[in-house]
Amino acid sequence: GESVGLHLPTLSVQEGDNSIINCAYSNSASDYFIWYKQESGKGPQFIIDIRSNMDKRQGQRVTVLLNKTVKHLSLQIAATQPGDSAVYFCAENKNSGTYKYIFGTGTRLKVLA
């Protein structure tokens, strides 16, 4: 099927290594952030979220770090597996009940066997 994001930055990692994917967000007023994973031919899948009152949040094999000073968000994937190969992108949302999110263009993660 069609592959989304053919010209995205690519991160290649060896299976079993840790991966770090970065995102620079745009709005200093944003206070809620989400990481999505999008496999080829599929819709974006929610991975983990974080609010601006936190610096770090952990899930299963994933950790999100938030640095509000430099408006930077990162996703760390531990012990990367072939099934982690996908495009990852971040989304930011500003408080006050707004429903509009700003989505990044994404990074393609390739896991090498």
Partner 1 sequence: GAGVSQSPSNKVTEKGKDVELRCDPISGHTALYWYRQSLGQGLEFLIYFQGNSAPDKSGLPSDRFSAERTGGSVSTLTIQRTQQEDSAVYLCASSFGQGRNQPQHFGDGTRLSIL
Q: 18 or 45: whose CB is closer to partner 1?
A: 45
Which candidate, 9, 12, 30, 10, places its Cα nearest to that of 72? Answer: 30
Q: 14 or 98: whose CB is closer to partner 1?
A: 98
Which residues in this chain contact partner 1 in the complex, by CB under 8 A?
Answer: 1-2, 4-8, 31-32, 34, 36, 41-46, 49, 51, 89, 93, 95-106
Give Cβ neighbours of residue 106 (< 8 Å, ≥ 6 apart): 5, 8, 38, 87, 88, 89
Q: 85 or 93: whose CB is closer to partner 1?
A: 93
Q: 106 or 111: whose CB is closer to partner 1?
A: 106
Burial class (CB in 10 A: 0-12, 13-18, 19+), 97: exposed
Using CA of residue 16, residue 111, residue 10, residue 30, what is the dihedral sign? Answer: negative
